Every structure is written in structure tokens, then in C-alpha cells.
Amino acid sequence: MRLSHRPRLFLATLAVAAFSLAGCSKPPAEEDPAAVAARALALAPKDARLSELYQHSCRACHGVTGSGAPLAGDRAAWAPRRAKGEAQLLKSVVEGYRGMPAGGQCFACGPEDYKALVRFMSAPPKDAK
């Protein structure tokens, strides 16, 4: 089946418009790596129990640069991970992923603790622009 000239012209116009609009949206500006690192080192959950779990298990990798782990509050590092969904993030925590040991070596963590800690670490910081 062959399209007449008008529908093809309409489709071509739509395609050009879509590509033009896609170019208009700017990705968020990347933050200064030093600021991200300083913030990650200072972050801790507000809940006392979660904060203790975070300090003893997560912070050693997610609070300092050079470990290969995404820093807590680093929106750019967590964005592709968050895009995979919370279920996949939790699976990676429980089973381990690349250099991360299973359970993140949090032997006192249960499923709800893992969920809360992942949400804490992957949440964009409220003070970041």
C-alpha cells in the first residue's frame, strides 16, 4: 500500500518536529564532583536505626569516592540504576552486583531495611540544584 504525497509530508513534518523538540530539552547540569563527594560523606538517614545500619554497612563504599559504588545522593550516578526500577535495585543488593557483596555486608538488614537504605542512597538530595 502506497501513501499519497500528503500523508508522507505530514509524517515527515511530525518527525522533524519531534527531533527538534527533543533537542530543546537540556539534560540537568552535572554537579561538581567534589561537592557530590563532600555531600555523600556527610549524608546519613534521619532514622537512628537506619543511620546506624548505613554507617556500618553502606557508607564505606557509598560515602567515599574511589570505591566504584555510586555515591549516596549522586543523582547522575543513580539515575540509570533507578531507571531499572526498585525491584532490580533490591535484587542487586540482596544478590550482590559486580564488586558489591551480597547484602552489602549488612548482616542485620532485613528486606525493609534494604528498601529504605536504597531509597535513601538513590534519592536526589534536596539541596542540590
DSSP 3-47: --HHHHHHHHHHHHHHHHHHHHSPPPPPPPHHHHHHHHHH---SS
Give the chain's domain count. Answer: 1
Do the domain assignments include residue 62? yes
Do the domain assignments include residue 22? no
Q: Show the domain range for 48.
A: 33-122
Quote the cell numbers at residue 61.
563504599
Do the domain assignments include residue 27? no
Do the domain assignments include residue 13? no
**pTM for this one?**
0.72
Residue 124, CA atoms < 13 Å, CB-side half-sphere: 12
| 81 touches 97 (CB < 8 A) | no
Do the domain assignments include residue 14? no
Do the domain assignments include residue 104? yes
Here the CATH number for the domain that contains residue 79 is: 1.10.760.10
pLDDT of 19:
38
pLDDT of 124:
82
Residue with cell 525493609: 112
Do the domain assignments include residue 94? yes
Per-10-residue mean pLDDT, the chain, length 129: 52 42 46 89 94 95 93 94 94 93 93 96 71
Query: What is 44-104 written as a DSSP string?
Result: --SSHHHHHHIIIIIHHHHSSTTSSSPPTT-HHHHHHHHHT-HHHHHHHHHH-BTTBPGGG
Do the domain assignments include residue 91? yes
As a whole number of angstroms, the distance between CA 54 and CA 24 comes to: 40
**Surface-to-core class of residue 110, CB atoms within 10 Å of its CB (0-12 exposed, 13-18 middle, 19+ buried):** exposed
